[in-house]
């Protein structure tokens, strides 16, 4: 079920819950697609689920993830969305805060490359 994502400034807990639900639903859907033989589609769903999970971690740590005012502004503006191009850096920062996410992020990015490889043939 798709729902409107709460703004993080107004409802950090609500946003986090929505992203975690999105993560769990993505993993469930990925497993279904994998069982049906759709490996690339399954890989893409796992990647999106991981991005949702990283986004939830960022929001949970929003008050301590940034190192300076410029980073603070970026995390509050767009960093909490965990964009694909910034996923490695965000994961490194979460790793600095004690979360062991770097290896899983590397795996998720490899799955993403697999999911999009040759998809336009």
Whole-angstrom distance, CA of residue 4 vs CA of residue 13: 14
Q: What is the pLDDT of residue 76?
A: 87
Question: One digit per residue, pLDDT tens: the chain, 121 residues?
Answer: 555 555 677 788 999 999 999 999 999 999 999 999 999 999 999 999 999 999 999 999 999 999 999 999 899 888 899 999 999 999 999 999 999 999 999 999 999 999 998 666 5
CA nearest to 47, candidates 32, 26, 28: 26
Is this prediction's pTM over 0.85?
yes
Q: What is the pLDDT of residue 30?
A: 97
Q: What is the pLDDT of residue 112?
A: 96
Q: What is the pLDDT of residue 8?
A: 73
Q: What is the pLDDT of residue 9?
A: 72
Q: Which residue's entry shows tokens 């850096």?
A: 89
Structure tokens at 4: 């409107």
CA nearest to 55, candidates 12, 96, 98: 12
Q: What is the pLDDT of residue 77?
A: 87
């Amino acid at each position: 079920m798709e729902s409107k994502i709460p703004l993080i400034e107004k409802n950090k807990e609500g946003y986090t819950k929505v992203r975690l639900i999105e993560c769990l639903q993505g993993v469930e859907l990925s497993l279904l697609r994998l069982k049906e033989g759709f490996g690339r589609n399954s890989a893409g769903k796992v990647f999106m689920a991981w991005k949702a999970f990283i986004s939830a971690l960022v929001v949970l740590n929003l008050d301590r993830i940034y190192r300076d005012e410029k980073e603070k502004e970026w995390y509050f503006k767009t960093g909490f969305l965990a964009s694909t191009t910034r996923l490695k850096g965000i994961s490194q920062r979460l790793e600095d805060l004690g979360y062991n996410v770097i290896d899983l992020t590397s795996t998720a990015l490899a799955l993403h490359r697999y999911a999009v490889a040759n998809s336009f043939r």
